[in-house]
Structure 1
Amino acid sequence: MCGGCVSSCCTLPVEVKIKDLIRIGIVDEFERGDPAKNIAKRLQKEGIVERYNQKSEIFTLQRMSNNDCLYLDRKSRLCTIYDKRPDTCRNHPKIGPRPGYCAYKPKDVVRQESGSLKNATSAPVPKF
């Protein structure tokens, strides 16, 4: 199903834990013992993290101005860190900010000369 989609899930907020940030390479393993709120402050300054929930210890990754994930290639619509992607992405749509929700939009759209997509329509998606 995902191969026929325009990467709609990559426009949803991406919630990550410290282990995801280490896997991606944003945080070093030796920082694991540092207070997460200090790591969050640093990553917010660097424009990588949008917010941090201290109670759940969940970081929300910053998105581009068009709501795409920072790691989504604008042209190919493919993940640039696929092998290191966060658990939220690996297990979508089972986990994440909207468990069970898939924003599937088929690729059978007309591409304009600029490479942008138009006429994308939502399609019914089976429940997981």
Structure 2
Amino acid sequence: MRSPIRIVDVDRLETWQRYRAGMCDTCAANCCTMPLEVRLPDLVRLGVVDAFEAEHIEPKLIAKRLLKMGVIDHFNHKNAIFTMARRASGDCRFLDAQSRRCTVYETRPETCRLHPRKGPKPGFCAYGHRQHSR
């Protein structure tokens, strides 16, 4: 008998599972469909903003450029937080659509590095089993 399919809605925290080591190996990267909030050092690490620009240009001017380029969807002036633009599918722009793996894993933003220790439900994950194509 097959186990029932567990439906995960990233916006409904009660559908999340307690995180345990190894979950990411079989996950469909549901966390990579949530809005990604980053700070200026993350954008520098990702190569979206250069270090000189980050040090000498106001964040709101950087945000204006990134909005125009379609790199971000929003900038919170008060907290200097940039919300990265996502693909039409809702996926993070850095997620490989086929493998469901991060293409910038080594330089990923702090938000991603700290998941699931920090976030909307610390210690829990929007885990969804990845379907393998045959």
- TM-score, L = length of structure 1: 0.80
Q: Distance in 2 between matches of 1:83 and 1:94?
A: 18
Asked if 1:22 is matched to 2:44, the reply is yes
* Matching residue of 2:9: none
What corresponds to 1:81 in structure 2?
A: 104
1:48-127 matches, cutoff 5 A: 48-96=71-119, 98-100=120-122, 101-107=124-130, 109=131, 111=133
| Paired letter, 1:36 | P
RMSD: 1.5
Cα distance in 2, alignment partners of residues 22 and 106 from structure 1: 32
Aligned to 1:12: 34
Residues 62-119 of structure 1, C-alpha deviation per residue, up to 9 Å, x if partnerless?
00011000010111111111111000011112334x2425211012x464x8xxxxxx
* Count of equivalent residues: 110
Q: Structure 1: which 5+ runs fail to align?
A: 114-128
Identity score, percent:
46
The offset of 1:4, in angstroms, is: 1.4
How far, CA to CA, are the matches of 1:64 and 1:46 in structure 2?
Answer: 14
Counterpart CA distance in 2 for 1:105 and 1:46 is 32
Distance in 1 (CA, whole Å) between partners of 2:118 and 2:50 is: 25
Equivalent-residue separation in structure 1 for 2:93 and 2:30 (angstroms)? 14
Partner of 2:25 in structure 1?
3
Match of 2:65 in 1: 42
**Letter of the aligned partner of 1:88 in structure 2?**
T
